[in-house]
Structures are given as structure tokens and as C-alpha cells.
């Protein structure tokens, strides 16, 4: 029986925002750690100095970004607040607080990003210190979520529940988070620095396009036993010029992992380009000095790092306390979870949800449930509803890099109840690894750099797939970015789009470049190839046409990228939609010259980039 989410016990905060089971007075009375309290006091002081005209805007911008506060295209004091969720792990209390913050400070909902952050928009600058204190009271922070810092450390959302992992990377990702947070070397880097973890070479954490990607692997000891450790990849990146990550060395022992990560960071700090932010990421050092030279400099840095006050050698304390033993068969070898193509066979709604969204670890008996978060957006009621579900059934929840939640530590006898309660929250659509699970960056809704409304296109594609009966075709991932910078990770999608300005009949119009065949996993990455340019208003029709063709022609277990390859590649498959790259006369179809969610004529307005500040 579906529950009524309005019946969940709540308290009401000033302004009408509901707080779930949070007792705000009790939470706000908790003493904060001295360093956290000092951080927020400093932000409040510098904010006041800026608003009083005593601090230059450029100086305050750098400080603000390093504290996770990002300007919006609306200008004024409108701010995007980015909350770091290390390796995606959240508690019920933190979910409740995020729901409260979405309603009390923002517009009623938050947005999950592709890097396991949660963002809220239209927060007024003067209220940011108060928001920071609310977050800190439940163990969350915005510090170093933006700016030229070590960003949120990501991790596979099934870590500790995947039967194929070599190591549970959860404590390692947490140890890395703690080591670099407020670390002097992590503050004023040449550019942002991204780290993620995967527990096996399925690479759910997406190591192959980050500054540092860590994958758990095993090597044989002399006695024939297996030693678990890591393979560290480096210098990957997306953006306008994607670069695949390369391996630093074949095997990094567990006790050497954190020194290796710091050595990579220090090398980047020493040699990264501080004169040209557009070529400042670690990936450009491969081009300027060569990968062999970069490897040698990192290893030299690591060799002498023991002389540093920040040397993090040995097994980190938190790893010793939590343990990092794998959840299942690990190094013994098995078919990885990601190799299973989701196919829906049942006509029963519950059975279809179970086939798509429930992940079972056959080797270790774990059960995990993917919850579908449309466009990555979570309302206050949904935050609170998931928090209550976690409490009632003693579950764990993590954020995924496809902008969803995954519920973990589920028992088989709890599945039907979970489905009913997710239905009541509008989070029970079969979505995992299906075509409807479209990923999009915030786009021109709030971002200064976006030239198109990527969220509007994602919504249009979702509707078109539903109408065509194709939303539940398995193994088709659509990702959309509102510009070339790839916050929506269009390069690694089966079908990727990035926004661009088009000209037709003497008018500006919103358009997209479509890419096909992107994929990542098995310590490999293939970036999507350009297929066709399209008017924004024709992109959904193009997706429907391609997904329909794929569904009609695919072989047993065949993936979209494999179908693209055997069909002649991206350019050849792109000819299937070439006729859609046409703008009608503005008088006949004026909607082609107005972007999604806009009312006036399209104009590509790009503000000052805070990404490169």
C-alpha cells in the first residue's frame, strides 16, 4: 500500500519549510569543530567586507569559489551552493537537512550532479553563512567544492556491496577526502583537481577521465597468493578537449596510495600552467612534457615526500578502523556487474522496476536498489521521504554519478515495501541503465557558460522516448551539456549532446552537436565521435529515431556502442538523422528560434567564467 508522504512526522521551520525529523534547535545548538567554525566565521567576515566595498570583487570571487559558492547567470546576490558528498554517502539526518535547505534557502529542490555533489540555486549571498552552519551541524560542507582546489572525492556507489570488487574503496575515498580537506597544497592550485575511486575494473567510479583515477586491482605474490592494491591513472579529463587517463604504474601498494596521490598533486602544483587557465589542467602536462617525464617527476616527488610534514604514508587510520575487505569474490574473478545488459521482460509494473532497478550481488547476497531521480532533481519531500525510508528499514544511501540515489543493505523481503514508498515519492520509475535516465547539467537555467537550456532538452527527450514507447530500452545513456565544457559528460555517453549557437535565416537559434559511441570501463575509454548537428527542437526526434533503430537491430547482449561500431561508426549512423538538421523559416516555425523554458528570441549570452577563475 502506498504511503502518504505528507503523513511523515515533520516540524515546521520559519518561512514554512518542513524539516522532517530534524529538531532544528537541537541541531543548531551542536558545537562545531573549531576549524569548521573558523571557516564559516571567515566567510562571513569576508562576505561583509565585500558587500561593504572593502574587498575587491575578484579577490572575493576566488575566496567564495574555494568555499563552494558559485555565481549564477542571474547576477546580483544569487548564488549556487555546492555541497560535497564524499563518495556519495549520506545519512538520514543529512538527507533531512538537504530537504530543509532546498526549501528554506532555495526554490524547493536540489540537484544531484555527475560528481556526487548536491547543488541548490538562487541562494542569497547574505544567507550563505547561516546555510553553511546548518550543513556543518550534520557533517556536511561546501568547502573546496568549487575553485582551484581538490574537489569532491568520488567513489563507486556500490562500494562495499559489489561482489566483484577487489577492495572496498569506501574508507580509502574517505581517507583521501580528509587528507586533502584544508590541506595547504590543495588550496591555490593552477586549476581544479578531481579524484575518484573504483573497486574493480568495471570502473563505476569513472577513473579514466579524471586528474587521478584509482582502481582496485590485485597482483600475485611470490607465494602465489594475491595482494590487493591499486592502479593509479592520471591526467584524464573531459571539457572541450577530452584526454584519456594514463596509468602511472602497474601496481601501487595500499600503504603507498596516499603518498602517490599527494605526489601527483604536488607535481601538478609545481608544473601546472598558471598563466593560461584554459591549458592549466593536469592533462595538458602530458602534452607539454610527455607522459614518461610526468611519471618520473611524480615518482621522484613521492620518493622524497617522507620528508614533508604532510606525508600520509602507511595504511590510513580510517581504513584500519573500517576495514577495506571486498564484499564478494573480488580477485577470484567473475563477470562484472556492468556487463549485464538490462532487459525488461515482464508487463507487471513491480516486476519491471525490479528487473531494472534492483542489483543483486549473487556472490555475497547483497541487494541494492537504484531510485530514479528525474533530471537529478530532488524535492524537499523526496529528501525527507528517502531519509524516513532509510531510518525505517535500516538502509544506507549513496548518490550515483548518474544523478540518482542507490539504497543499500536491502533485504529481499523489503523490496515490495520500498517500491510502494518510492512510488509515493514519484521515484519508482524503472530508470537504471535505461533510455529514460537522461543526464543533464544545469545549463542556461543558472550557469554563466551555458549557451543552451540542457535541462529543457533532457525533459523533451524524456517525453519523446516515453511517447514512443522507448523509455525502457536498456543500455542507452543520453548525456547533455549546455556548452562544450562537459559538465553533463556528453563525451562518454552512448548519445551525447553539447549546446551551441546556430545561425539560420539570418537569426540565432539554439542547437546541439550530437556525439555517438562514448563509453568507459575496463580501464579503457572511448570518447563519442561527432555525428550530426541538430536544431534543439529536433534533437529529441533524432534520439527517438536512433534508439528505435538500435532496439530493432541489436543482437543479443549488444550494447549501443557496439551497434554504432558495426553500423559504420558515428558519422554513418549520423546520416540517419541528417535530414533533421534543418531550420524552418522563422515565420512558419518560430519555436525553433526560442530555447526550451524560454519565452523570448534565442540569444547566446555567455557570462564571465567562474570555472576558470
Q: Residue 40 maps to which CATH number? A: 3.30.70
- Tens digits of residue pLDDT in 108-127: 999 999 999 999 999 999 99
- Greater confidence (37 vs 365) lies with 37
- Does one domain contain both 62 and 202? no
Q: Are residues 247 and 301 in the same domain?
A: yes
Count of all residues that appear for the chain in the document: 613
In a domain, 93, yes or no: yes
Mean pLDDT over the full length of the chain: 92
Residue 205, CB half-sphere, CA atoms under 13 Å: how many? 36
Same domain, yes or no: 375 and 517:
no
Domain match, 317 and 368 both: no
With cell 560528481, the residue in question is 115
Res. 148: pLDDT tops 90 = yes
DSSP 126-138: GGHHHHHHHHHHT
Q: Can you give the pLDDT at residue 14?
A: 56
The pLDDT tens digits for 194-214 are 999 999 999 999 999 999 999
pLDDT over 60 (residue 89): yes
Three-class SS of residue 593? helix
Return d(Cα 184, Cα 197) in angstroms, integer: 23
Q: How confident is the model at residue 76 (pLDDT cuts 50, 70, 90)?
A: confident
What is the reported pLDDT for 125?
98
pLDDT score for 611:
61
Q: Using only C-alpha atoms, what is the Rg of the chain?
A: 24
Q: With respect to residue 148, please indicate whether it lies within any of the assigned structural domains.
A: no
101 — pLDDT class (breaks 50, 70, 90): very high
Q: Which helix (H) or strand (E) holds 257?
A: helix 257-271
Whether 382 and 300 map to the same domain: the answer is: no
Query: Which three cell numbers mark 293?
Result: 617525464
Query: Which residues are within 8 A (CB) of 390 and not within 5 positions of it... i.e. 6 or more apart?
Result: 91, 92, 95, 396, 397, 407
What confidence tens digit (pLDDT) does each residue in 398-443 have?
999 999 999 999 999 999 999 999 999 999 999 877 999 999 999 9
The verdict on residue 153 lying in a domain is no
- Give the pTM: 0.93
Q: Please check whether residue 610 lies inside any domain of the structure.
A: no
Return the closest-CA partner of residue 152 out of 114, 125, 122, 120.
Answer: 114
Report how many helices (DSSP H) and strands (DSSP E) the chain contains, helices first: 17, 22
Name which residue leads in pLDDT, 363 or 167: 167
Cα 475 versus chain centre, distance: 19
Q: Are residues 561 and 480 in the same domain?
A: yes
pLDDT for residue 265: 98
Find the farthest-apart pair of alpha carbons in the chain and give their distance in angstroms, rounded. 78
pLDDT in tens, 284-313: 999 999 999 999 999 999 999 999 998 998
pLDDT band (50, 70, 90) for residue 609: low
Same structural domain, 174 and 312: yes
Q: For 473-504, b where at least 16 C-beta lie within 10 A, e where not — what string? A: bbbbbbbbbbbbbbbbbbbbbbbbbbbbebeb
Q: Is residue 603 part of a domain?
A: no
Would the pLDDT of 337 be above 60? Answer: no
- Distance, in Å, from the CA atom of 563 to the CA atom of 465, rounded to the nearest integer, reads 19
- Let me know if residue 80 belongs to a domain: yes
Q: E strand or H helix at 27, and its extent?
A: helix 24-28
Instruction: Give the separation between CA 136 and CA 174, rounded to whole angstroms.
Output: 17
CATH number assigned to the domain comprising residue 309:
3.30.413.10
DSSP assignment of 279-291: G-STHHHHHHH-H
Tell me what pLDDT residue 10 has: 45
In three-state secondary structure terms, 49 is helix
Grade residue 363 by pLDDT with cuts at 50, 70 and 90.
low
Whether residue 142 is contained in a domain is answered as: no
The set of cell numbers assigned to 1 is 500500500
Show the DSSP H helices in 363-439 as ranges. Answer: 380-393, 415-424
H or E stretch covering 294: helix 291-303
Position 163 scores a pLDDT of 84
Residue range(s) defining the domain that contains residue 237: 166-322
As a whole number of angstroms, the distance between CA 331 and CA 250 comes to 16
pLDDT for position 344:
67
Name the pairing type of β-strands 246-247 and 358-361: unpaired
Q: Residue 7 has what pLDDT?
A: 31
Domain-embedded: residue 327: no
DSSP for 317-366, please give it.
HHHHHH----SSSGGG----GGGSPP-----SHHHHHHHHHEEEETTTTE
Residues 28 and 87 in one domain: yes
397, 424, 451 — which closes off a domain?
A: 424
- Tell which of 424, 447, 482 closes a domain: 424
Query: Are 492 and 520 a contacting pair, CB within 8 Å?
Result: yes
Strand pairing class (478-481; 519-521): unpaired
Domain match, 237 and 290 both: yes
Q: Which of 562, 522, 559, 557 is nearest to 164 (CA)?
A: 522
| Distances 8 to 3, 109, 392, 434 between C-alpha atoms, Å | 9, 18, 11, 31
Q: Residue 487's pLDDT is what? A: 94
Which of 368, 392, 424 is the endpoint of a domain? 424
Q: Are residues 449 and 511 in the same domain?
A: yes
- How many domains in the chain? 4
- 264 lies in the same domain as 121: no
575, HSE (Cβ side, Cα atoms, 13 Å):
5
Residues 187 and 109 in one domain: no
Amino acid at each position: 500500500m502506498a504511503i502518504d508522504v505528507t503523513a511523515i512526522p515533520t516540524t515546521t521551520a520559519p518561512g514554512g519549510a518542513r524539516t522532517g525529523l530534524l529538531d532544528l534547535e537541537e541541531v543548531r545548538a551542536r558545537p562545531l569543530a573549531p576549524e569548521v567554525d573558523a571557516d564559516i566565521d571567515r566567510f562571513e567576515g569576508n562576505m561583509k567586507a565585500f558587500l561593504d566595498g572593502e574587498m575587491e570583487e575578484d579577490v572575493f570571487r576566488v575566496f567564495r569559489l574555494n568555499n563552494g559558492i558559485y555565481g549564477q547567470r542571474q547576477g546580483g546576490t544569487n548564488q549556487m551552493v555546492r555541497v560535497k558528498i564524499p563518495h556519495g554517502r549520506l545519512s538520514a539526518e543529512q538527507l533531512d537537512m538537504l530537504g530543509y535547505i532546498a526549501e528554506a534557502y532555495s526554490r524547493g529542490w536540489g540537484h544531484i550532479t555527475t560528481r556526487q555533489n548536491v547543488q541548490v540555486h538562487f541562494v542569497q549571498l547574505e544567507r550563505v553563512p547561516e546555510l553553511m552552519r546548518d550543513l556543518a551541524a550534520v557533517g556536511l560542507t561546501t568547502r573546496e567544492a568549487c575553485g582551484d582546489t581538490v574537489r569532491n572525492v568520488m567513489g563507486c556507489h556500490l562500494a562495499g556491496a559489489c561482489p566483484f570488487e577487489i577492495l572496498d574503496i569506501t574508507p580509502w575515498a574517505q581517507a583521501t577526502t580528509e587528507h586533502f580537506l584544508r590541506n595547504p597544497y590543495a588550496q591555490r592550485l593552477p586549476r581544479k583537481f578531481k579524484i575518484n575511486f573504483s573497486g574493480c575494473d568495471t570502473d563505476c567510479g569513472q577513473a579514466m577521465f579524471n586528474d587521478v583515477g584509482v582502481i582496485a586491482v590485485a597482483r600475485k605474490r611470490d607465494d602465489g597468493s594475491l595482494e590487493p592494491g591499486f592502479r593509479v591513472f592520471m591526467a584524464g579529463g573531459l571539457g572541450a578537449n577530452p584526454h584519456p587517463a594514463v596509468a602511472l604504474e602497474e601496481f601501487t601498494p595500499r600503504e603507498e596510495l596516499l603518498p602517490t596521490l599527494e605526489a601527483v598533486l604536488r607535481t601538478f602544483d609545481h608544473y601546472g600552467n598558471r598563466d593560461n587557465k584554459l591549458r592549466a589542467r593536469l592533462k595538458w602536462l602530458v602534452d607539454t612534457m610527455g607522459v614518461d617525464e610526468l611519471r618520473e617527476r611524480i615518482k621522484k616527488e613521492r620518493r622524497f615526500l617522507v620528508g614533508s610534514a604532510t606525508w600520509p604514508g602507511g595504511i590510513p587510520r580510517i581504513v584500519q578502523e573500517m576495514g577495506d575487505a571486498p564484499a564478494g569474490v573480488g580477485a577470484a574473478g567473475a563477470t562484472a556487474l556492468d556487463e549485464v545488459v538490462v532487459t525488461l521482460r515482464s508487463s507487471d509494473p513491480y516486476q519491471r522496476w525490479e528487473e531494472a532497478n534492483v542489483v543483486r550481488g549473487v556472490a555475497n547476497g547483497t541487494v541494492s536498489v537504484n531510485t530514479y531521480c528525474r533530471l537529478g532533481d530532488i524535492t524537499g519531500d523526496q529528501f525527507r521521504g528517502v531519509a524516513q525510508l532509510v531510518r525505517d528499514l535500516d538502509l544506507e544511501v549513496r548518490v550515483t554519478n548518474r544523478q540518482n540515489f542507490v539504497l543499500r543493505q536491502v533485504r529481499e523481503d523489503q523490496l515490495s515495501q520500498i517500491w510502494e514508498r518510492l512510488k509515493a515519492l514519484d521515484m519508482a520509475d524503472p530508470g537504471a541503465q535505461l533510455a529514460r535516465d537522461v543526464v543533464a547539467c544545469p545549463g542556461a537555467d543558472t550557469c554563466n557558460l551555458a549557451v543552451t537550456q540542457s535541462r529543457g532538452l533532457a525533459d523533451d527527450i524524456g517525453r519523446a522516448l516515453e511517447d514512443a514507447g522507448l523509455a525502457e530500452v536498456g543500455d542507452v545513456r543520453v548525456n547533455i551539456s549546455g556548452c562544450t565544457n562537459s559538465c553533463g559528460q556528453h563525451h562518454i555517453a552512448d548519445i551525447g549532446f553539447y549546446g551551441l549557437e546556430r545561425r539560420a535565416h539570418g537569426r540565432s537559434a539554439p542547437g546541439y552537436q550530437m556525439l555517438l559511441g562514448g563509453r568507459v570501463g575496463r580501464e579503457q575509454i572511448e570518447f563519442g565521435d561527432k555525428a550530426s548537428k541538430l536544431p534543439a527542437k529536433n534533437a529529441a526526434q533524432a534520439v527517438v529515431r536512433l534508439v528505435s533503430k538500435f532496439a530493432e537491430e541489436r543482437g543479443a547482449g549488444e550494447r549501443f556502442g557496439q551497434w554504432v561500431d558495426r553500423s559504420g561508426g558515428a558519422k554513418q549512423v549520423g546520416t540517419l538523422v541528417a535530414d533533421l538538421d534543418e531550420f524552418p523559416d522563422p515565420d512558419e516555425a518560430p519555436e525553433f528560434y526560442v530555447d526550451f523554458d524560454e519565452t523570448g528570441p534565442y540569444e547566446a549570452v555567455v557570462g564571465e567564467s567562474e570555472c576558470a577563475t
